[in-house]
Amino acid sequence: MGVSDELETGALASAGGLSSPEGEYENAGTACRNCGTIVNRRYCGHCGQLAQSFHRPVWHLFSEMVGDFFALDGRAMRTLPALIFRPGRVTRTYLDGKRQRFVPPFRLFLLTSFLYFLGLFAFGDSQGWFHWYANPAVDGITLDNTTAEGAGNGVPLVIQDLNRSDDEPLDPEAEALLKQSQENVKRFFLEDGRINRAAIDESACDEPEEQESGSCEFMRMVGHRLADAYENQGMLFASIQSWAPRLALICLPVLVFLLTLSYPFSKRAYVYDHIITAMHFQSWLYILLGVGLVFLWLGQVWFVIVLMLAPPVYLYRMLRVVYDSGRFLSVFRTFMIMSSLNVVLLLLVIATLVLGVADTSPILGGASQN
């Protein structure tokens, strides 16, 4: 088998495609699709191609992947506790050649990332992250004619409550500034909750002579795009759901690259080792973020903040165990890797929002066209 064939087979196997028990071959007795030889086993005896079809529903592949993950052989139970509570131990043991007892790293990475984003979007939807519009579009076409209860002049309650405090009353000067700020916000909203496009055009540039400049046109375009996204938050949410998991995959090669830079002259660490380490670390991180979502849903924000302190500690211990690094160098490498990952994560969040807004299509040419 060539390298590309091995990669293809390995990827499909990690997704649950090779979970058929030994002795069960779905294409037994049929001709090999590559060379035409009659196949009686899992692989063609003539050319070595895998004799299995992967043309099946996605839900079937996912069910096989989940079934393999929680198989009766106990690999999940041997993998998860050690992965969570013993940083680097699963990785080091796996790299030492004891692989059969653990869930394959790529399969673990795929499943944890899938479950995390599934939980994240479900939580975001339940918390109304994309329901700020006072009068949301109904079925993506028409707008409700009634103003949401408590909304003033179409301004979302979230924006109305900004800078509002339950402390002592403000002094007259501060009160005047607050009212002026609220009026500036209100002018961007129509009474039915839509965005006032005329206000966007007027505020793009302050100087009259700059109104026709390229920068002003760009600011108007950005403003109208944001208005479309605001008024079509269902589309925005769907676009973010589509882009976020795909962009998150970029973190894996970035982490592999950072690990490679951290150990440039090591004769014991290969790129393969960095890949396994990166997949295990990100799998653990998705589990941690999933636990954080649960506590966030329970209202325990303080515990979520404590959890966010865990990644650098975990990575430090992981580097010590997997690469047998010294304390000082492990601290330095942990700082370098975590700082770089935070920058990359921020850029990916911005890219997700930009792509989400760019993908949001205005309703009938823009529901707020004036």
Question: pLDDT class for 139, splitting at 50, 70, 90?
Answer: very low
User: 0.85 exceeded by the pTM?
Assistant: no
Taking the CA atoms of the chain, what radius of gyration do you get in angstroms? Answer: 27
What is the pLDDT averaged over residues 303-316?
Answer: 92
- Number of CB atoms found within 10 A of residue 258's CB: 19
The residue type found at 172 is P
Pairing between strand 142-143 and 137-138?
antiparallel
- Report whether pLDDT(236) > 80: yes
Please provide the DSSP assignment of 293-351 as one string.
HHHHHTT-HHHHHHHTTHHHHHHHHHHHHHH---HHHHHHHHHHHHHHHHHHHHHHHHH
SS3 362: coil
Backbone angles phi, psi at 311, to 5 degrees: -55, -50
Give residue limits of the domains in the chain: 1-60, 70-148+231-370, 149-230
Q: How far apart are CA 87 and CA 85, in angstroms?
A: 6
Using an 8 Å Cβ cutoff, are 193 and 134 in contact? yes
Structure confidence by residue, pLDDT tens digits, 167-190? 556 667 666 776 766 666 777 777
Q: What is the mean pLDDT of residues 293-318?
A: 91
Alpha-carbon distance of 79 to 105, in angstroms, equals 10
Supply the pLDDT for residue 168. Answer: 55
How confident is the model over 28-73, as pLDDT tens digits?
A: 678 887 888 888 877 888 887 877 766 666 676 667 666 665 654 5
Mean pLDDT of 195-209: 70
What's the pLDDT score for residue 147? 39
